[in-house]
Amino acid sequence: AQTVTQSQPEMSVQEAETVTLSCTYDTSENNYYLFWYKQPPSRQMILVIRQEAYKQQNATENRFSVNFQKAAKSFSLKISDSQLGDTAMYFCAFTPGNTDKLIFGTGTRLQVFP
Amino acid sequence: NAGVTQTPKFQVLKTGQSMTLQCAQDMNHEYMSWYRQDPGMGLRLIHYSVGAGITDQGEVPNGYNVSRSTTEDFPLRLLSAAPSQTSVYFCASSYSTSGGERLFGPGTRLTVL
């Protein structure tokens, strides 16, 4: 079965510090895409970062970066210089192979404290 | 562009009632999908469509119907609402399948009594 596991239901970090959210996935496909989505209290789903499995280089978007370990099937998200506006649920997701199905993990609730 | 719009934002139904959740996008995206979000379970795919006239089932399709007569619209029908369908429903669209970014609507909170 194709699954995504986020083992940290809740995390907290102080403003300006760095935090890493964990994600592992299970697939037998060699080509797939990985995503991190953010859901603030407004409920809107917002794409944070996207990674193509065939690219070795880790994706980066401003303060957000990933550590993609294909052999370990791991896709962690690092948030640097955390800001109060980063407080949200974070979902890891992937689309295996050539399917049209985006599979989500159960999410990590991140609280940023001043 | 208005992006992805969903109506209504909130809805309360009684068990056995039927209703349609509306979803529309104005970006000419071929790919559209419906998810439900329940506490502690993330988002689960209900149905999806890769173009007008083409739909397929996701992880949790039972109790829901969809159709795609135009590129812009992708309504989700609840045939006979049950309390287990109490959830937040999200519609999403994408310019491509697989690796394309899904753009999400604002969601519909549905309560079935």
- Does the distance separating the beta carbons of B102 and A43 come in below 8 Å? no
pLDDT at A35: 95
Locate the chain A residue with the closest alpha carbon to B39: A106
Chain B residues within 8 A of A107 when measuring between CB atoms: 42
| A26 within 8 A of A2, measured Cβ to Cβ | yes
Q: B66 and chain A: CB distance < 8 Å anywhere? A: no
* Digit-coded pLDDT (tens) for A61-110: 999 999 999 999 999 999 999 999 999 999 999 988 767 788 999 999 99
Whether A112 has a pLDDT exceeding 70, the answer reads yes
> Do A42 and B108 touch, CB atoms closer than 8 A?
no
Contact B58 A101 (CB under 8 A): yes
* Each residue's pLDDT tens digit, A20-72: 999 999 988 888 999 999 999 999 999 999 999 888 889 999 999 999 999 99
Interface membership of A99 toward B (CB under 8 Å): yes
* pLDDT score of B98: 67
pLDDT, tens digit (0-9, with 9 covering 90-100), for B59-71: 999 999 999 999 9
Would an 8 Å CB–CB cutoff place B79 in contact with chain A? no
What's the rounded Cα separation, in Å, for the pair B75 and B6?
9
The C-alpha of A75 sits at a distance from chain B's nearest C-alpha, in angstroms, of 16
Task: Identify whether B39 is preceded by a cis peptide bond (ω within 30 of 0).
Answer: no
Chain B residues touching A52 at Cβ < 8 A: 99
Is residue B112 a contact partner of residue B82, using CB atoms and an 8 Å limit?
A: yes
Residue A55 pLDDT: 86
CB contact under 8 A, B98 and A98: yes
**Residue A32, strand partner residues:** A96
B39 interfacial to chain A (CB closer than 8 Å): no
pLDDT of B92: 95
How far is residue B25's CA from residue B3's CA, in Å, rounded to a whole number? Answer: 6
pLDDT by residue (tens digit) across B41-58? 889 999 999 999 999 999
Q: Please state whether beta strands A88-96 and A103-104 pair in parallel, antiparallel, or not at all (unpaired).
A: antiparallel
The helix or strand, by DSSP H or E, that contains position B93, with its residue range, turns out to be strand B87-94
**B14: burial class by Cβ within 10 Å (0-12, 13-18, 19+)?**
exposed
A95 vs B: CB within 8 A? yes
Q: What is residue B37's predicted lDDT score, i.e. its pLDDT?
A: 97
Cβ–Cβ < 8 Å for A75, A105: no
CA distances (Å), origin B68, targets B31, B99, B108: 10, 22, 19
Nearest to A45 among B59, B90, B97 (CB): B90
Say yes or no for a CB contact (<8 Å) between A50 and B99: yes
Instruction: Please list the residues that pair with A10 across neighbouring strands.
Output: A109
Query: Percent of chain B at pLDDT above 70?
Result: 99
Q: Which of A45, A52, A91 sits opposite B99 (nearest CB)?
A: A52
What is the mean pLDDT of each successive set of 10 residues along chain B, which is 113 residues long? Answer: 92 97 95 93 92 93 96 96 97 83 94 97
Inter-chain contact A44–B92, Cβ cutoff 8 Å? no
Mean pLDDT (chain B) is 94
Q: For residues B105 and B5, is the Cβ–Cβ distance under 8 A?
A: yes
10 Å CB burial of residue B75 (0-12, 13-18, 19+) is: middle
